[in-house]
Amino acid sequence: MSKFNILVLHGPNLNLLGRREPDIYGHLTLANINEILEQESARLKVGLSCFQSNHEGLLVDTIHGAVDNYQGIVINAGAYTHTSVAIRDALAGVGLPVVEVHLSNIYCREEFRHHSYIAPVAVGQISGFGANSYCLGLHALVNYLEKSS
């Protein structure tokens, strides 16, 4: 059994990856990204589950359900990053360490993307490295868990 189980959460519209707007979000599909994360988690010897939803409440429910089964969360909340007090409160409520990731550099884009409701309840944020943001986020979270265990 792995020492740590990590939950990767993908928010709204990320199911469209690879099919639209490749200039912003790249050519990889969400399935490709999940596969890369599975491989990386095997190398790191941690357990990993990935979940995507377009529904805020479902993401909140999934965060609540994580508390007994996972030691940390990597989240790309998509547009909910900039709007959702509910997701921020859920993350703060369960108290698991969170790493926030974004494919694009949200600070180089429209002003409304510069604010994250999640950043203040996260250990840290990785933004702008495409699919690699998720891998960097996974590494950062595992490193954080190892140091704090």
Rounded Cα gap, residues 24 and 131, in angstroms = 11
**Could you confirm whether 80 is annotated as catalytic?**
no
Task: State the minimum distance, in angstroms, from the CB of residue 113 to ligand CA2.
Answer: 4
Query: Does 38 interact with ligand CA2 (rule: CB under 6 A)?
Result: no
Q: Which two tokens stand for residue 85?
A: 């007090």
Contact 148, 95 (CB under 8 A): no
Query: Does 137 interact with ligand CA2 (rule: CB under 6 A)?
Result: no
Identified catalytic residue from 10, 70, 80, 102: 102
Rounded Cα gap, residues 64 and 37, in angstroms = 22
Task: State the minimum distance, in angstroms, from the CB of residue 109 to ligand CA2.
Answer: 7
Query: Does 117 interact with ligand CA2 (rule: CB under 6 A)?
Result: no
Residues 6+ apart with CB under 8 A from 124: 99, 100, 140
- Cα angle vertex 143, ends 130, 27, to 5°? 15
Q: Which two tokens stand for residue 7?
A: 């939950």
Q: x-or-dash pattern for ligand CA2, window 79-108, by CB under 6 A?
A: x-x--------------------xxx-x--
Query: Does 13 interact with ligand CA2 (rule: CB under 6 A)?
Result: yes
**Could you confirm whether 102 is annotated as catalytic?**
yes
Task: State the minimum distance, in angstroms, from the CB of residue 41 to ligand CA2.
Answer: 20
Task: State the minimum distance, in angstroms, from the CB of residue 1 to ligand CA2.
Answer: 31
Evaluate the CA torsion angle 29, 35, 39, 40 in order and state its sign. positive
* Active-site amino acid positions: 25, 102
- Residues interacting with ligand CA2, by CB under 6 A? 13-14, 16-17, 20-21, 25, 76, 78-79, 81, 102-104, 106, 113
